[in-house]
Amino acid sequence: MKVLVVLTNIETYGNTDDTTGLWLSEATEFVTVMEQAGISVDYVSPKGGYVPLDPRSLKYVNEEIRQVYQADDFRNRALSNSMKPEDVIPEDYDAVYYTGGHGVMWDFPGNAELNEISNLIFQQGGFVTSVCHGIAGLFELQTPSGERLITGKAITGFTTTEEYLSGKALKVPFMNEKIAQKYDANFQKRRAYKPFVVQDGRLITGQNPFSATLVAKKLLVALKK
């Protein structure tokens, strides 16, 4: 089994000097669960290559996160030399996982190549998963009949309340919760910054940075069925 992990290439909030990037734990905690279960992971980003880290995420590093972050494999294949979408063979993967960090709000939506990869993984019976802002990668996915994948589905992601609490509400291009509702998804949420995960068939989504492990464990159970 193999899972494709999607990362951002964006370093700043739009045309500002305010830095962002991948929220580190959203990748490392997910990868830890997969690796412990013997499931391989690959890393892709919209442009391939370098993946920046949100500096604020480094404040939450614990020993488990540090072990993955300092591993040569993660630093090479995820942070320095992530795959380009054109290098991905969708048939190789049982699931795709969209990580977060505010950067994804600029380079996940509108990426036709990532959309096609995820659509194919889902159509072949695989799982589409995300955590926090990674929900932005799901907005344009479609069923074979042309409907939005999230329409009518129970999902979650970084909430409008959490966006305001993060202090970045005026710097982001949209609110994930509002976009999900616009597309008629059944957006669910719990208390701000508390771990929460929703599964609706082969869609598994987590609300915030503290939900990555729960997403991974849900996916693991689903993959083993």
Strand order in the sheet with 2-6: 40-44, 2-6, 95-98, 127-131, 203-206, 197-200
Q: Which of 26, 29, 102, 132 is catalytic?
A: 132
Single out the catalytic residue among 102, 133, 140, 162.
Answer: 133
Rounded to whole angstroms, how far apart are CA atoms 211 and 129?
12
- Asked about 132 being catalytic, the answer comes back as yes
Rounded Cα gap, residues 93 and 43, in angstroms: 12
Residue type, 124: Q
Rounded Cα distance between 89 and 166, Å, is 36
Answer yes or no: are the C-beta atoms of 87 and 126 closer than 8 Å: no
Whether 29 is a known active-site residue: answer no
Catalytic residue among 26, 29, 162, 163: 163
Please say if 163 is a catalytic residue.
yes
Local structure of 100: helix, strand or coil: coil
146, 172, 127: which is closest to 5 by C-alpha? 127
Q: What angle, rounded to 10 degrees, do the helices at 24-36 and 212-224 form?
A: 30
Question: Residue 41 pairs with which residues in a beta bridge?
Answer: 3
Q: What is the DSSP letter of 198?
A: E
Active site residues: 132-133, 163
